[in-house]
Amino acid sequence: MANSSSISTPSRPLPYGRQHITDADVAAVVAALHADYLTQGPTVGKFEKHFAEYIGAKYAVAVSNGTAALHLCALALNVQPGQSVITTPLTFSASANCVRYCGGEVHFADIDPATGLIDLQKVRALLEAHPKGYFTGLIPVDFAGLAVNLEEARRLADDFGLWIIEDACHAPGGFFIDSQGREQRCGNGYFADLAIFSFHPVKHIATGEGGMITTNSEQLFHHLLRLRTHGITRDPADLVREPDGGWYMEMQELGYNYRLPDFNCALGLSQLARADEGLARRRQLAARYDAAFAPMPGVTVLAPATPGHAYHLYVIQVERRRELYDFLKTKQIFAQVHYIPVHRMPYYEALGWRAGDFPLVENYYAHCLSIPMFPTLTDAEQDYVVACIREFVEAPHAR
Ligand SMILES: *Cc1c(COP(=O)(O)O)cnc(C)c1O
C-alpha cells in the first residue's frame, strides 16, 4: 500500500456502496422500452431463469423489491397472528417486518460477534426455552455477504419443525462449505425453504427497485406466482370453476401487485451477466483492505478472509466510531452504519424490546462502520480511504 504522501484526493465522493451502470445496461433497458410490453414481458421470465441458474436454485420469482419478496415468503409460509418467528437483530428492519405484516410476533437471537451472523446456539437455547410449536420459522441473514451455515440451521429447524427464509440480500454469489465439503451457494434452496434477494442500487445487482425469491419447492413457486399478481390464476390446471370464455381468470386468494416490470428485468439481466466480475472485484478489494488493516492498531476487521464471502459490505470496528464517521465525511468518504439493531428501533421497542436485551449486537453497533466497497472503487480511491483511516487512528486523541 502506498504511503500517504503519494495519496491523491479522488475526484468523486466515495459512498459505502454504489451501482455500476454500463452502456450495455442502458442499451438493454432502451431495447426493453421499445418492445411490446412495459410491465410483464418476456424479459421477466428470462431474468428469473438466468438468476435461478446463477444462484443454483430450481425456481425464481421476480418481485418489486426485497421487502415485497419477504412479505410474499411470509404469506406463502402462512405466517399467522399468534405465531412467533426468530430472526437476527443485525439486519435491515424488513427482515423482521415481514412477520409483522402477517400479524406474527418477532423474536431475536443475538449474534456471534466474530461473524455478525445469528448465533445458532442462541437460537437453539431460545427454541428449547419455549414449548415445541411456539416458533414456526427462522429468518437468518447472510450479513455483509457472509453466508449463514444453513446446514446447521436446517438441522435445528427440523428438530423444532420450523421453516427457513434465507435473507440473502447481501450475498448473491456467496457460499459456505457444508459438512461434505461442498460449496453451498446462498439462496440455492438446498437447505432453506425460500431465499430472497434485493436489487436496490447498493446491492450486487441493481434494477432500480427490485427483488427475487428463489426456491426448490415447485408448490411454493406456484403459490408465489399467484400471490405476486393479486392472487389471480389463469392456469387451467388450477381453476376451481369452468371457464365461460377466453378472458376467464380467477382470483383465488388475497394477493398483491408485487410484479417487477420488464425493463427493470432487462437491467437486471444485463447486470447479472457481470455479476461474477463484480464479485471478484469485491473480493480483491476486501483482500487489499484486510492487508492494510491487519497491522493497523485500533482497527478490527469483521470476519476477515472468509471463503465464500460476497462482500456486500466491508465492516471495520473502531473505538471512536462516531468521530471516525464524521472525520471521513470531511474527506468526502461517506461511510455508513449497518445496522442500528432492529430491536432498538422505536417500533420494536414499543413491542417490548429494550436496550440490553442483546448485548453482543449492541456492542457491535457501538463500533461498526461500513467503508467504501463497490466494484468500480479504484485501487487509488481505496488507498485514499485507508490513508484517511490511518490518519485518524494515528492522530492524537483530541480530534
Ligand atoms: C436491502 C435489504 C432488504 C430489503 O430490500 P429492498 O429491495 O430495499 O426492499 C432486506 N433485507 C436486507 C438484509 C437488505 O439488505
Query: Looking at the domain covering 274-398, what would its CATH class be?
Result: alpha beta
Expressed in angstroms and rounded, the spacing between residue 44 Cα and the centre of ligand 1 is 20
Task: Give the residue, by CA position, lying nearest to ligand 1 atom 1.
Answer: 198
Tens-binned pLDDT, residue by residue, of the chain (399 aa): 445 556 889 999 999 999 999 999 999 999 999 999 989 999 999 999 999 999 999 999 999 999 999 999 999 999 999 999 999 999 999 999 999 999 999 999 999 999 999 999 999 999 999 999 999 999 999 999 999 999 999 999 999 999 999 999 999 999 999 999 999 999 999 999 999 999 999 999 999 999 999 999 999 999 999 999 999 999 999 999 999 999 999 999 999 999 999 999 999 999 999 999 999 999 999 999 999 999 999 999 999 989 999 999 999 999 999 999 999 999 999 999 999 999 999 999 999 999 999 999 999 999 999 999 999 999 999 999 999 999 999 998 654
Query: Which triple of cell numbers denotes residue 258?
Result: 408485487
CA 326, 328, 330, 283 torsion: positive or negative?
negative
Q: What is the CATH architecture assignment of 23-272?
A: 3-Layer(aba) Sandwich (3.40)
Q: Are 101 and 110 contacting, i.e. CB atoms less than 8 angstroms apart? A: no
- Which residues, other chains included, contact 339 with Cβ-Cβ below 8 Å and sequence gap of 6+? 90, 91, 92, 365
State which ligand 1 atom lies nearest to the alpha carbon of 142.
13
Expressed in angstroms and rounded, the spacing between residue 94 Cα and the centre of ligand 1 is 6
> What is the reported pLDDT for 3?
52
Expressed in angstroms and rounded, the spacing between residue 139 Cα and the centre of ligand 1 is 13
- Cell 504511503, located at residue: 3
> What is the reported pLDDT for 2?
46
> What is the reported pLDDT for 1?
46
Whole-number Å distance between alpha carbons of 84 and 109: 13
Q: What residues flank ligand 1, with Cβ below 6 Å?
A: 65-67, 91-92, 94-95, 141, 167, 169-170, 198, 200, 211
Boundaries of every domain in the chain: 23-272, 274-398
> What is the reported pLDDT for 259?
98
**Which among 95, 186, 311 is the best mutation to test ligand 1's pocket, defined by most ligand atoms within 8 Å of the CB?**
95
- Which residues, other chains included, contact 236 with Cβ-Cβ below 8 Å and sequence gap of 6+? 243
Helix (H) or strand (E) holding 220: helix 218-228
* 329 counts as catalytic: no
